[in-house]
Amino acid sequence: MLIQEQINVNTDGRGTYEVTSDVQQIVESAAVETGLCHVFIHHTSASLILCENADPSVRNDLERFMARIAPDGDPAYTHNNEGPDDMSAHIRTAITQTGLMIPVKNGRCVLGTWQGVYLWEHKARGRQRQLTITVYN
């Protein structure tokens, strides 16, 4: 059995957006008891992470980390057609994830206690982001 669904997530600019419950809902409706769930993002300036879900300051600190190692408007970058957040967004995407695979057990993603699924928008302005979720066994 393999079920594939697409969802859209509207972001309102740089930051993390939790999609754990959207993913769990698709897994539950797929009625896969034991298997795997794959979440894919169809973009090169937004990415996915599994991250601590209890304290929002973790995601703020992750932004600070990225701002330090891949800052906006870095004069070293030549690709800046879309502005100072253009290349920084591509770099941040490259060193995080475009896809996440999560085990499914008892009909649900078996995430650790502190693991949440986050879409990470790396562009300053919001946009609609497309995800494809595939559940199978």
Chain residues that interact with its own copies, rule: CB under 8 A? 2, 4, 34-36, 38, 40-45, 49-52, 55, 57-58, 60-62, 64-65, 68-70, 76-79, 81, 87, 90-91, 94-103, 105, 110-115, 130, 132, 134, 136-137
Residues 45, 32: Cα–Cα separation, whole Å: 31
With H, G, I as helix, E, B as strand and everything else as coil, classify residue 84.
coil
- Is the CB of 114 or the CB of 125 nearer to its own copies? 114
- 93: CB partners within 8 A, 6+ apart: 43, 44, 45, 46, 47, 122
Measured from the CB atom, the residue of 25 and 69 that comes closer to its own copies is 69
Q: Which of residues 80 and 124 has its CB atom nearest to its own copies in the complex?
A: 80
3-state secondary structure of 57: helix
CA-CA distance, 14 to 75, in Å (whole number)? 21
Shortest CB 125 distance to its own copies, Å: 17
CB of 93 to its own copies, least distance (A): 8
